[in-house]
Amino acid sequence: MTDLLLRVVLLGNLGATGPAPLMLAAPTGVRFDSVDYRNVVHWTPASNSCSLQYHVQWKIYGEPQWLDAPGCQRIHKTRCDLSAVTSDPREWYYARVHASCRPSGKTAWALSPRFSPRWDTEISPPVLRLEVTKRGIVVRVKPPRLTVRKKHGDLLHEIYLIHPGGRESHEATADVPAVQRRSPVATSTAADINNLTIQVQHFILRSIKDPTR
């Protein structure tokens, strides 16, 4: 009788355990992509069979506390705009992401490389408008977004004029809302003007990067 009761209890326990929950793989490739100080974290979802929700946190380098990213909790998209909380060009930042799915639970955190808005953002190219006159070419330069101009009062442009033979001349100018500079040409014929190449580059005067940060 005792032996029969023990067998019943064991069978009952085996039936109650059920299948073990699947282990979720963490996201990969967590990184900041930043253009004109718009700092967006991207990541690659792992191969999981359920519908994942993502949770994003951020922190300042050297600070112990992680903070929830506003608007990026329980999301299904694989990106999060952290511009509002990672805007200080003097600081360095981290982001981390984990995924969750019922009933499997949640993944481990996946960490981004360290990010600096000052050093890691890319400045978008300027918009050019050319006007051909009898005296030369008027180059109008529209600088990048207002955010960039606010953070960099020392933003400079260099205007390059490349002639058909490869000879190059350039002029540097400070950033203003609309820059006009006249580049003289040898003749005013359409053929000669069409063979010219005009390029404009941004330059930001930065201090030496602090190796301890």
Q: Where are the domains of the chain?
A: 24-120, 127-204
Instruction: State the pLDDT confidence band at 36, using cuts at 50, 70 and 90.
Output: confident
Distance of CA 207 to the CA centre of its chain: 22
The answer to whether 173 touches 160, Cβ cutoff 8 Å, is no
Residues ≥6 apart with Cβ < 8 Å to 40: 32, 33, 34, 79, 80, 81, 82, 83
pLDDT reported for residue 151? 64
CA–CA distance, 193 with 188 (Å, rounded to integer): 7
Average pLDDT, stretch 17-43? 84
CA–CA distance, 28 with 58 (Å, rounded to integer): 16
Q: Residue 116: is its pLDDT beyond 60?
A: yes
Instruction: State the pLDDT confidence band at 170, using cuts at 50, 70 and 90.
Output: low
Q: Do domains 24-120 and 127-204 have the same CATH topology?
A: yes
Query: Mean pLDDT score of the chain, rounded to an integer?
Result: 74
Q: Which fold has domain 127-204?
A: Immunoglobulin-like (2.60.40)
pLDDT reported for residue 175? 46
Q: Residue 5: is its pLDDT beyond 60?
A: no
Phi and psi of 100, rounded to 5°? -135, 155
Least confident of 57-71, 87-101, 189-203: 189-203
Q: Residue 97: is its pLDDT beyond 60?
A: yes
Which one is predicted more confidently, 19 or 31? 31
pLDDT reported for residue 107? 93
Question: Could you report the per-residue pLDDT of 125-163, keeping only the tens digit for each?
Answer: 777 777 777 777 777 777 666 666 566 555 666 777 766
Phi and psi of 16, rounded to 5°? -80, -20
pLDDT reported for residue 11? 46
pLDDT reported for residue 135? 76
Q: What is the DSSP string of 148-185?
A: HHHH-TTEEEEEEEE-TTS-EEEEEEE--SSEEEEE--
Bridge partner list, 162: 168, 197
0.85 exceeded by pTM = no
Cite the beta strand spans of 84-145 per DSSP E.
93-101, 105-106, 110-111, 127-132, 137-142
Pick the CATH number of 24-120 from 3.40.50.720, 2.60.40.10, 3.20.20.240, 2.40.10.10: 2.60.40.10
Of the chain, the end-to-end C-alpha distance in Å amounts to: 73
